[in-house]
Amino acid sequence: MLVVEASPSSGSLITARLAAEQGREVYAIPGSIHHPGARGCHQLIRQGAALVESVEDVLEALRGWQRVDLPDGEGPAPTQPDNPLLRELLAAPRSSEALAMALDQPLGQVLAQLTELEVDGLVACDNGFWTVISR
């Protein structure tokens, strides 16, 4: 569970407590010490919730996922990807809508595939355009 904003008496803190009692991970994004809506997140962090500053913090904690940068010349040689989405993105960055049209697939299906590729560290979205992450 990720808490973005919570006052000290909010229902988010109750939900976070219940999640922790059930063995679920609790994450909190800190905020300004002057903003009342951040106090609940600060309280959660003091009580042991994981501090979140970026999406990588959540991915690393949930999946043990981390990007390994290989020195130049090391690692497997790049090959033509089997995934049609990756082939399209190697040609040029594209929006999810353009990918759906190019592949003649429903947008929801394309978005689900893009999410999986993003979690695997293969693609990234910047300003609405998806690109392949070079490794």
Domain total in the chain: 2
pLDDT tens by residue, the chain, 135 residues? 889 998 888 898 999 999 888 888 889 999 888 888 899 999 999 998 888 888 777 777 666 444 445 455 554 444 446 888 888 888 888 999 999 999 999 998 998 899 888 888 888 888 888 988 865
| Same structural domain, 58 and 90 | no
- The alpha carbons of the chain give a radius of gyration, in whole angstroms, of 19
* Strand-pair partners of 125: 130
In a domain, 19, yes or no: yes
CATH no. for residue 109?
1.10.10.10
Contact predicate 31/24, CB 8 Å: no
**Does this model's pTM top 0.75?**
no
Q: Which domain holds residue 127?
A: 84-132
| Same structural domain, 54 and 88 | no
Q: 53-89 burial string, b = 16+ CB within 10 Å, else e?
A: eeeeebbeeeeeeeeeeeeeeeeeeeeeeeeebbebb
In a domain, 16, yes or no: yes
